[in-house]
Homo-oligomer: A and B are copies of this chain.
């Protein structure tokens, strides 16, 4: 700001373009300097920049994006049921298959938390008697792995979905499309962070035997299914961004479902206690709703709409509407965040989980303006929360018609990432996220903000052009 005053007064001697740190030695030498917040397009990659110039106003892309974003904005999501994953996802009924978060990865490359979760899931399924034997089986090739995203599903952090686990069944009533997610285990030790001891497995067995069937029975007893998209919209008016803060959506949803659960006897009471004690209970169902919305925009030829952002703890992967099922991957970053006492960045696993589906659908980090209190969890100030949402409008195709942000005068949340805009502005998608310890079994050690790495967007743009 003092730079600005000096500019006005004609006293400015230097203008620094780009990284603020370049201006520091100049300022230290007593020279007036102002820094412009500018980043070179396409990471300064000359080929990519020229490609971007060719594609920025391409009519085929513009038309395709208009089609794709309209499908995303119009998508609905109602919660029909909870069933065993093998009943919802055919591939899980066929053999020893485990679904995991993020782009494809095999056992030998998996990060610690995902390995821990895989071993726990193998014991849960009874494919091995203990964790040591489970790791041997995982390494042997006798168990197959596939991304949740390849089976219309999403899972937070390690994102393990095994055949017996209960999953939410969500549907877009206008298209009949369905999406699935596993159930949230609560805070503390959890499989999704790679914890897999007896306590974790005992809780998972209870979720298989009681929580899933009881929630399913309660949901099936409702006259009208719960509208999860409407729940998210209401929760955004209640300080949630529905990724790292879910207290509003969990409370609303618990209140809606409580009478039906109360009719399920003692099992219903225990499920109500489980929902009472976990402020993130609604996260997984919210994620499945986001999966339905983003999936609606998939497969529109030439569209540069990003339909998936997901991390497996090693790689960060995106998929793009015009490029179908193809993944574009880059090493996953370590989030910048707040750590629980006794932990620091050196303990952190790189970014992990399918929960970035929330940002892909225009909530989570993109809706942080609605959730100033989340900064107490992920770091920063309420002004930062506002700034993230404002910035994300630069890289998105539309504003949600349903997800309104009260602190921004009820403006719609920025929705539908255009990979061209990411490259043009240098603004990488912002993702609220939990941070897992890099060793399996330790669990969550913090929460923070991750920025999507740009390289996979550069690669995706080349693929879009190749397809024109």
A-B contact pairs, 21 of them (CB 8 A): A234-B247, A237-B373, A238-B248, A248-B251, A250-B255, A251-B254, A255-B255, A258-B258, A258-B262, A258-B275, A259-B272, A259-B273, A261-B262, A262-B262, A262-B268, A262-B269, A262-B272, A263-B269, A372-B406, A372-B410, A381-B409
Number of A positions contacting B (CB below 8 A)? 33
| B residues less than 8 Å from A261 (CB atoms) | 258, 262
A382 interfacial contact with B, CB 8 Å: yes
Q: A238-B247, A248-B248, A256-B276 are in contact. List 14 more A-B contacts (CB 8 A).
A: A238-B251, A239-B406, A248-B251, A251-B254, A254-B258, A255-B258, A258-B258, A259-B276, A261-B262, A262-B268, A262-B269, A373-B410, A382-B409, A382-B410
> Given the known A-B contacts A261-B262, A269-B262, are A255 and B275 also in contact in the complex, defined by CB atoms under 8 Å?
yes
Alpha-carbon gap, A222 to B68, bound state (A): 51
Tell me the minimal C-beta distance from A380 to chain B in angstroms.
12
Q: Which residue of B lies closest to A405 (CB)?
A: B372
A residues contacting B by CB (< 8 A) are: 234, 237-239, 247-248, 250-252, 254-256, 258-259, 261-263, 268-270, 272-273, 275-276, 372-373, 381-383, 406-407, 409-410
Alpha-carbon gap, A247 to B239, bound state (A): 12
Oligomer copy total: 2
Alpha-carbon gap, A345 to B219, bound state (A): 44
Q: Which residue of B lies closest to A252 (CB)?
A: B251
| B residues less than 8 Å from A407 (CB atoms) | 372, 382, 407
Asked if A258 contacts B239 (CB within 8 A), the reply is no
6 A-B pairs closest in CB distance: A262-B262, A251-B251, A372-B406, A238-B238, A254-B255, A258-B258
Tell me the minimal C-beta distance from A221 to chain B in angstroms.
11
Tell me the minimal C-beta distance from A316 to chain B in angstroms.
30
